[in-house]
């Protein structure tokens, strides 16, 4: 295959790839990737501080997991699939007996969770939260209120979906009281399930307020409502514990939904849930020809085993604490431009404000991101003016420091008016 230049690849992309597949803001054409780096058509390397939007949390190197060919799953019992399911099940919050259903992407698994909630409770209504992102299939997009991800072009969405206000940890007492009041007004007997993103990733890594989470869980348990968490972005210790819901004491969900990084670079998702919940759908009621391929499961299991090795947790904690301290120091030093830092564990967002007349916050964020790319750091804008920082779990400390230094340089250059 002839290697295209960046300019040609961008032209061909515009001509041949449907634009709705991208949210790319930088004119980058990536040819390959290794470790924590993306490599463009001309061979320039970019340290990726997004982990490929959390799809490649253990780095870009090819995962060696044995040579068994690859075979799809639905028509027979597969060994790599069973082994991976057992390993995933062993991490379930609360440690009870659970089953796993593999899928092809996060959005589709959310659709499966909607079906399960309805089948399990024989009720219709799904309750979710303002600002959540659950994906782009019909079910998942119907639960999504992240700004910019919904469109009336494909109305009507799924019926019987109710959106409640979200309160993060920083919410005022009044805001949290309002959230709890709205929760109190619901007709619980009609609700099949709560589907919750415990830490809203694309809204700026915002953990749900403890009081709100506990109130929802209490209602779910009291009224036989399914309690499902979307961990597609935050599972595998991104926020500290294995699942982000474990930041909330005493909660044992009916199911967790995972995806992204779990296939080690090959499409894979899963619903992991309590046995009676998972058994509420019958054969083929949520099954896909290519769900849970052997290769995806073997890659995922190889990575999970690495993440379970002694030393991994400490190494991740070391990186999380370096990231936390450095980002807060950056904010303190450049608070004219970095309004605040939000996040938890190893997932942060920098909220950018402009200190220059004629340049809005949105444009300021774009300029900083572009400058980071010039300097060899890949970061992504979320919403209008926040920058996503979710480095790879196994990035070297040297690279983590290097990326932080580039980020600081870009912010500092913007502050002093050097970025046009």
State the chain's maximal CA–CA distance in angstroms: 64
Q: Which is nearer to ligand PLP, 85 or 228 (CB)?
A: 228
CB of 245 to ligand PLP, least distance (A): 13
CB of 29 to ligand PLP, least distance (A): 22
- The gap from C-alpha 87 to its chain's centroid, in whole angstroms, comes to 21
Establish if 105 lies at the interface with ligand PLP (CB under 6 A): yes
| Cα-only R_g, the chain | 22
CB of 110 to ligand PLP, least distance (A): 6
Binding ligand PLP (rule: CB under 6 A), the pick from 52, 106, 253, 300 is 106
Establish if 135 lies at the interface with ligand PLP (CB under 6 A): yes
Q: CA 99 to CA 85: how far, in whole Å?
A: 8
Establish if 198 lies at the interface with ligand PLP (CB under 6 A): no
CB of 93 to ligand PLP, least distance (A): 17
Are 260 and 249 in contact, with CB atoms under 8 Å apart?
Answer: no
Binding ligand PLP (rule: CB under 6 A), the pick from 40, 168, 197, 254 is 197
Binding ligand PLP (rule: CB under 6 A), the pick from 201, 204, 265, 343 is 201
Establish if 259 lies at the interface with ligand PLP (CB under 6 A): yes
For the chain, how far is it from start to end, CA to CA, in angstroms?
37
Establish if 381 lies at the interface with ligand PLP (CB under 6 A): no
53 Rama class: left (phi>0) / alpha (psi -120 to 50) / beta: left
Are 181 and 211 in contact, with CB atoms under 8 Å apart?
Answer: no
CB of 101 to ligand PLP, least distance (A): 15
Q: How many CB atoms lie within 10 A of CB 358?
A: 6
Establish if 296 lies at the interface with ligand PLP (CB under 6 A): no
Q: CA 109 to CA 23: how far, in whole Å?
A: 22
CB of 105 to ligand PLP, least distance (A): 4
Residue with tokens 């609700």: 191
Q: Give the range of 102-110, 117-125, 317-325, 388-396 binding ligand PLP by CB under 6 A.
A: 102-110
Q: Site residues for ligand PLP, window 388-417 (CB under 6 A)?
A: none
Spatial CA neighbour of 361 closest among 347, 371, 345, 350: 350
- The gap from C-alpha 234 to its chain's centroid, in whole angstroms, comes to 5
Binding ligand PLP (rule: CB under 6 A), the pick from 50, 128, 233, 354 is 233
Q: Give the range of 127-135, 293-301, 309-317, 393-401 binding ligand PLP by CB under 6 A.
A: 127-135
CB of 270 to ligand PLP, least distance (A): 11
CB of 249 to ligand PLP, least distance (A): 22
How many chain residues bind ligand PLP (CB under 6 A)?
13
Q: CA 397 to CA 394: how far, in whole Å?
A: 9
- Tallying the residues shown for the chain, one arrives at 420
Are 278 and 99 in contact, with CB atoms under 8 Å apart?
Answer: yes
Establish if 50 lies at the interface with ligand PLP (CB under 6 A): no
- The gap from C-alpha 21 to its chain's centroid, in whole angstroms, comes to 17
Q: Which is nearer to ligand PLP, 40 or 230 (CB)?
A: 230
Q: CA 134 to CA 149: how far, in whole Å?
A: 10
Establish if 232 lies at the interface with ligand PLP (CB under 6 A): yes
**Segments of 219-312 assigned E as strands:** 226-230, 255-258, 269-274
Establish if 168 lies at the interface with ligand PLP (CB under 6 A): no
Establish if 230 lies at the interface with ligand PLP (CB under 6 A): yes
Binding ligand PLP (rule: CB under 6 A), the pick from 107, 128, 145, 293 is 107
Q: Give the range of 74-82, 205-213, 228-236, 299-307 binding ligand PLP by CB under 6 A.
A: 228-236
Q: CA 69 to CA 63: how far, in whole Å?
A: 14
Alpha helices for 124-225 (secondary structure H): 138-142, 173-184, 210-223
The residues of the shown chain that bind ligand PLP, judged by CB under 6 A, are: 105-107, 133-135, 197, 201, 230, 232-233, 259-260
């Amino acid at each position: 295959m002839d290697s295209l230049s960046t300019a040609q690849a961008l032209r061909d992309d515009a001509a041949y790839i449907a634009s709705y597949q991208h949210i790319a803001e930088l004119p980058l054409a990536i040819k390959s990737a290794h470790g924590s780096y993306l490599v463009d058509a001309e061979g320039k390397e970019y340290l990726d501080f997004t982990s490929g939007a959390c799809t490649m949390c253990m780095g870009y190197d090819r995962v060696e997991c044995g040579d068994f060919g690859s075979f799809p799953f639905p028509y027979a019992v597969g060994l790599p699939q069973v082994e991976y399911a057992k390993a995933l099940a062993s991490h379930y919050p609360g440690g009870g007996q659970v089953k796993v259903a593999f899928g092809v992407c996060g959005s589709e698994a959310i659709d499966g969770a909607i079906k399960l909630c309805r089948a399990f409770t024989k009720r219709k209504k799904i309750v979710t939260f303002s600002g959540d992102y659950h994906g782009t299939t019909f079910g998942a997009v119907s639960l999504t209120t992240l700004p910019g991800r919904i469109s009336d072009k494909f109305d009507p969405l799924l019926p019987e979906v109710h959106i409640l206000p979200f309160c993060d940890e920083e919410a005022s007492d009044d805001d949290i009281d309002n959230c709890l009041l709205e929760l109190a007004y619901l007709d619980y007997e009609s609700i099949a399930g709560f589907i919750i993103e415990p830490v809203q990733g694309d809204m700026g890594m915002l953990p749900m307020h403890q009081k709100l989470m506990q109130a929802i869980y209490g209602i779910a348990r009291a009224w036989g409502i399914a309690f499902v968490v979307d961990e597609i972005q935050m599972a595998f210790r991104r926020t500290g514990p294995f699942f982000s819901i474990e930041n909330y004491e005493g909660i044992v969900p009916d199911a967790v939904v995972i995806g992204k990084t779990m296939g080690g670079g090959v499409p894979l998702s899963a619903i992991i849930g309590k046995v009676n919940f998972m058994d509420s759908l019958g054969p083929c009621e949520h099954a896909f020809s290519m769900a849970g391929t052997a290769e995806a499961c073997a890659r995922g299991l190889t990575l999970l085993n690495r993440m379970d090795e002694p030393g991994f947790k400490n190494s991740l904690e070391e990186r999380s604490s370096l990231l936390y301290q450095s980002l807060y120091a950056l904010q303190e030093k450049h608070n004219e431009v970095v309004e605040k830092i939000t996040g938890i564990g190893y997932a942060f967002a920098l909220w950018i404000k402009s200190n220059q007349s004629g340049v809005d916050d949105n444009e300021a964020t774009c300029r900083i991101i572009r400058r980071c790319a010039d300097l060899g750091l890949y970061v992504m804008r979320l919403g209008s003016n926040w920058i996503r920082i979710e480095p790879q779990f196994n990035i070297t400390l040297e690279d983590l420091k290097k990326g932080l230094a580039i980020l600081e340089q870009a912010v500092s250059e913007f502050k002093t008016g050097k970025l046009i």
